[in-house]
Structure 1
Amino acid sequence: MTVKQLRAFLAVAQTLSFTQACERLHLSQPALSLAIKGLEESLGGKLLIRSTRSVRLTPEGESLLPLSKHLLAQWDNTEERLRQRFTLQLGRLSVAAMPAFACNLLPAALVKFRQQYPKINITVHDVINEEVMEMVRSRQVEMGIAFSTEGTGSLLFTPLFDDHFVAVVPATSVLNQATRLSWSTLLAHDFITLQRPSIIRRLLEQALRNQQMELPVAFESHQLSTVGRMVADGLGVSAVPSMCIGQMQALGARCIPLTAPGISCQVGIVTQQELSVAAHALRNVLLETVQAPSTPRD
């Protein structure tokens, strides 16, 4: 049973006229008759009784009439919804992003996306870097934004920008007068950072270990906003990716470029091989919108 056959049957059943049904469907009489015959053969019996003067439904045809209306309405609705998805007039998209990106750079990209595609609804999961990868890998989300790691496997990683770490110090600290800071100077103060398994914490520890330096942690938190507030209130200093500069400054802390060593990592889009039309559109907006954060106090 095909959609074409059902449409032919419904047109004849509603008009009780092959001539009118042909006009409605823009079909020839032989094509319409062939569609009805094919439907009857596939179902195993007569649906219509046709004479030279009239057409009427058999009992089986009567029972098929409401079902055919329902099936064709569902088909038309499905067809229209898919057409709207392909033309970005309808849709839903799930994205996972590490909190540093979700809080600081993603909103501006979503504003631009929403302006272009107002009917696409987006769910954002702000989760740690490892969970971003896992959610994309398990197809819980179509797209992730994360730091580049060696564990991408079969996932595709599209670079957005290279981020670098900056020092975060209290506005009242003597360090706030410096235009640049070395790690040795920064680590002479109480250090505040994110708890493991944060990728930011791991990147810092690995880079400093390569320089035979240790990260002396005085305070830990799961949230960047808490780290920023602790620094702003004078509990110590920290280091965060430059994408977090605006967030740290809004909390009352100050950001200063770090040297010796300079620590950086690539930020990018993580996806499977195939993307929906909506996910592809968001990927393009991210590539067009997201820029490498500027360094304070050049």
Structure 2
Amino acid sequence: MGRINFDLQELQAFVAVADRSSFKQAAEDLFLSQPALSRRIEKLEDTLGVKLFERTTRRVQLTNIGRGFLANVRTALDELEGAILGVSDLAAHRTGIVTLACVPSAVHYFLPAVLKNFTERFPKIRVRIHDESAQDVLNLILAGEADFGINFAGAEDPEIDFKPIYKESYVLAMRHDHPLARRKKLSWKETANERYIAVSKSSGNRSLIDSALAGVEKHPAIFYEVNHVSGILALVEAGMGVAAVPRLSLPPHMQATLVGVPLVNPPIHRTLGLICKRGRIMPPAAQTLFDMLDQSIKNDKKSLP
């Protein structure tokens, strides 16, 4: 045979008849008339120069050659489908936008190196980052307004897939010249007389601390309340007091002036995770960034504080 002279529709017709052992049922599956289906099979057999089916008034069955050909056609169609999906994925990676929601500390520690690598590979894809409170991050994921997120909230939500990536402890943030700055650890009781700066009671961080300290005899006195950890750290840096914050909340650029001493009795921890809406299939570009973040965090855990 000098050249292949049949099309995809003829191969699909062949597989349909082989699966159904019936021209009538195969024609219905393909939304064709029986004569049109028969013409496709006849054309394929003429091109190949062989009979693929034995046809009687009662049944249709594959010839020996037809059975061997069917296995090869199935493989070819599967590979063709995979190739088409691969092209679609590639096209989706060339342009578009990925939307990521995360708590602010994740921006400092997890995103820069991964985003740089991602942009080098896919320079025309835009990445939109919502650095918000834990509840806002969760709401963005649930509403489908972000492809995925990094958050410490959502593990108990039945609509969220939560993949733990890092367990961090709470520390007492203070200036380097504070009298307690050289301590290796501090109990909450030892800090009870400090002037505390805290986030508002609507914050997930505040709820976690309040719950953990419910059984502690003497609670720290809170002198200032702000809405975001960034505001807390600005006041700590100005010498206005101390603050209990997650360790990763101390950004690298502030570590020249601030120190974080682990808090114990009781110790408080939170677990950060990669989150996405359960059952939602992410676009290829978003899935790629998700996988790159996951792998990067696994590789770099030892370098995290």
Structure 1 length-normalised TM: 0.66
What corresponds to 1:289 in structure 2?
296
1:261 to 266, 285, 296: 266
Instruction: Provide closer, same or farther for how the CA distance between residues 137 and 209 of structure 1 changes in structure 2, counting only shifts above 3 A.
Output: same
Residue 228 of structure 1 aligns with an amino acid whose one-letter code is L
- When residues 212 and 102 of structure 1 are mapped into structure 2, their CA distance, relative to the original with a 3 A threshold, is farther
Among candidates 156, 162, 166, match of residue 161 of structure 1: 166
Task: Tell me the distance in 2 between the aligned counterparts of 1:143 and 1:83.
Answer: 18
Separation in 1 of the partners of 2:204 and 2:183? 28
Distance 1:136 1:267 in 2: 15
Q: Compared with structure 1, are the counterparts of its residues 203 and 215 closer, same or farther at alpha carbon in structure 2 (3 Å cutoff)?
A: farther
Note the C-alpha offset of 1:98: 1.4
> Partner of 2:275 in structure 1?
270
Question: In the alignment, which residue of structure 1 is the partner of 2:185?
Answer: 180
Q: How much does 1:215 deviate?
A: 4.4
Report the alpha carbon displacement of residue 224 of structure 1 after superposing the two structures with TM. 2.1
Deviations 1:213-235 (A, max 9, x none): 53421111123222112112211
Residues 151, 80 of structure 1: alpha-carbon distance in 2 compared, 3 angstrom cutoff? closer
Pairing partner for 1:131 from 132, 136, 141: 136
Aligned residue in 1 for 2:286: 279
Counterpart of 1:202? 207
Paired with 2:223 and 2:211, the residues of 1 have a C-alpha distance of 18
Is the 8 Å Cα contact of residues 154 and 160 (structure 2) preserved in structure 1?
Answer: no
SS of 1:179's equivalent? coil
Q: Is the 8 A contact 2:155 2:161 kept in 1?
A: no
CA contact (8 A) 1:162 1:292 kept: no
TM-score by length of 2: 0.64
In 2, the alpha carbon distance for the partners of 1:180 and 1:280 equals: 40
2:222 corresponds, among 202, 207, 217, to 217
8 A Cα contact 1:183 1:259, kept in partner: yes
Distance in 2, matches of 1:284 and 1:84, equals 16
Cα offset, 1:285, TM superposition: 1.3
Question: What is the CA distance between 1:242 and its match in structure 2?
Answer: 1.4
RMSD: 2.9
Equivalent residue runs for 1:43-62 within 5 Å: none
Residue 148 of structure 2: aligned partner: 143
Q: Which amino acid in structure 1 is aligned with residue 290 of structure 2?
A: R
Q: Describe the superposition over 1:265-297 as per-residue Cα deviations: whole angstroms up to 9, x where unpaired.
A: 11001112221111211111111222447686x
Deviation at 1:81, TM superposition (A): 9.6
Task: State the secondary structure of the residue aligned to 1:141.
Answer: coil
> Is the alpha carbon distance of 1:185 and 1:129 closer, same or farther for their aligned partners in structure 2, counting shifts above 3 Å?
same
**Residues of 1 paired with 2:217 and 2:159: CA distance?**
34
Aligned-residue offset at 1:198: 1.6
Contact 2:161 2:276 in 1 (8 A): yes
Aligned twin of 1:108: 113
Q: Residue in 1 aligned with 2:127?
A: 122
SS in 2 for 1:175: coil
Q: Distance in 1 between matches of 2:98 and 2:173?
A: 35
For 1:198 and 1:141, the matched residues in 2 are separated by: 21
- In the other structure, the counterpart of 2:63 is none
- Identity of matched residues, %: 23
Q: What is the deviation of 1:90?
A: 1.9
5+ unaligned residues in a row in structure 2: which ranges? 11-84
- Give the deviation of 1:151 after TM superposition: 4.6
Cross-structure match for 2:104: 99
Contact 1:85 1:277 in 2 (8 A): no
